[in-house]
Amino acid sequence: MGLTREQAAGKIMVALDYADAAAAERLLQELQGIPCYMKVGMQLFYAAGPSFVEELKKKGYLVFLDVKMHDIPNTVKGGANSVTKLGVDMFNVHAAGGAAMMEAALEGVDAALLSGQVRPAVIAVTQLTSTSQATLNNEIGIAGTVEDAVIRYAQLAKQAGLSGVVASPMEVEAIKAACGASFQTVTPGIRPSGAALNDQSRIMTPREALNQGTDYMVIGRPITAADEPRTALESIIEELI
Q: Tell me the DSSP string of the chain.
A: -PPPHHHHHHTEEEE---SSHHHHHHHHHHTTT---EEEEEHHHHHHH-HHHHHHHHHTT-EEEEEEEE-S-HHHHHHHHHHHHHHT-SEEEEEGGG-HHHHHHHHHHHHHHHTTTPPPPEEEEE-S-TT--HHIIIIII---S-HHHHHHHHHHHHHHHT-SEEE--GGGHHHHHHHH-TTSEEEE--B--TT---TT-SS-B-HHHHHHHT-SEEEE-HHHHTSSSHHHHHHHHHHHH-
Strands 62-69 and 90-94: parallel
Residue closest to 105 by CA, chosen among 80, 68, 85, 128:
80
Give the active site residue among 57, 68, 77, 176.
Answer: 68
Phi/psi for 214 (5° steps) reads -65, 150
As a dihedral over the C-alpha atoms of residue 62, residue 116, residue 121, residue 55, rounded to 10 degrees, the angle is 30
Does the annotation count 68 as an active-site position?
yes
> Which residues have a catalytic role annotated?
68
